[in-house]
C-alpha cells in the first residue's frame, strides 16, 4: 500500500507525539520499565527522534534560557532569535557535522550574550567591585573565544565539504595515462 506525503506527515506527527508522551512518562526518578523499553524501541527504529527533544545541546540551551530569562516573553523572543540565526546559518540544509557545530555556535552565542549582559549590568548598576568585574570580564573573554572558534570551525568544515578534489587515473591501452581532476561541490 502506497501512502501519500500528507499521510506520511500525519504518521510522523503521531509518532512524535507518542514519543514525547513517553519522554514525559519516563522523565522521573523511577520510570516504568515498560515505558522505558518502548521509548528505547522507538528510538532504535527511528534514531532521528532525538531531534524531537532537540538533542543534548538543544536541551542545554533550553535550560540556560529558562534559568537566565525571567519572563516567558523574553524566553520566547530569545528562542525565536536563535531559530532565526540557525536558519540563516543554513541549519536545515546542512549535513550532520555542520549542524553539530551550529548548535555549538548557538550555545556559545547565548553564553557570550549572558556574560556581556552581566558585565553591562555591573558597569551601569553602581555596585561594581574590581573582583566581580574581573570575574565577568574573564568569562566574557572566554565565551567570545569559544564563539569565534565555533564559527571558524563551521567555516573550515564548509570549505572542506565544498573543496573536495576527486582525481581519477585511467590507464589506457598502449600505456597512456589519463588524469581527470574534478572539484566536488
Stated pTM of the model: 0.62
- Least trusted range by pLDDT, from 53-57, 131-135, 150-154, 161-165: 53-57
- At 47 the pLDDT is 67
For 29-75, write each residue's pLDDT tens digit: 888 888 888 888 887 777 666 655 555 455 788 888 888 888 888 88
Long-range CB contacts for residues 109-112, cutoff 8 Å, separation at least 24? 109/82, 109/85, 109/147, 110/61, 110/64, 110/65, 110/78, 110/82, 111/64, 111/143, 111/146, 111/147, 112/140, 112/143, 112/144, 112/146, 112/147
Which strand (E) or helix (H) includes residue 169? strand 164-171
pLDDT beyond 60 at 142:
yes
More confident residue, 65 or 1: 65
Q: For 73-88, what is each residue's pLDDT tens digit?
A: 888 888 889 989 999 9
Amino acid at each position: 500500500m502506497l501512502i501519500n506525503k500528507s499521510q506520511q506527515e500525519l504518521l510522523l506527527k503521531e509518532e512524535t507525539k507518542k514519543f514525547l508522551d513517553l519522554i514525559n512518562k519516563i522523565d522521573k526518578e523511577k520510570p516504568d520499565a515498560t515505558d522505558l523499553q518502548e521509548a528505547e524501541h522507538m528510538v532504535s527504529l527511528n534514531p532521528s527522534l532525538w531531534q524531537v527533544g532537540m538533542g543534548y545541546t538543544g536541551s542545554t540551551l533550553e535550560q540556560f534560557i529558562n534559568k537566565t530569562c525571567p519572563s516567558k516573553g523574553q524566553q520566547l523572543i530569545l528562542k525565536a532569535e536563535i531559530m532565526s540565526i540557525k536558519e540563516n546559518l543554513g541549519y536545515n540544509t546542512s549535513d550532520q557535522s555542520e549542524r553539530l557545530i551550529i548548535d555549538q555556535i548557538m550555545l556559545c552565542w547565548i553564553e557570550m550574550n549572558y556574560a556581556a549582559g552581566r558585565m553591562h549590568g555591573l558597569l551601569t548598576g553602581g555596585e561594581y567591585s574590581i573582583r566581580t568585574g574581573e570575574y565577568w570580564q574573564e568569562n566574557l573573554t572566554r565565551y567570545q573565544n569559544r564563539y569565534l572558534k565555533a564559527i571558524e570551525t563551521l567555516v573550515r568544515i564548509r570549505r572542506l565539504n565544498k573543496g573536495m578534489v576527486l582525481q581519477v587515473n585511467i590507464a589506457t591501452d598502449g600505456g597512456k595515462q589519463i588524469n581527470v581532476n574534478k572539484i566536488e561541490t
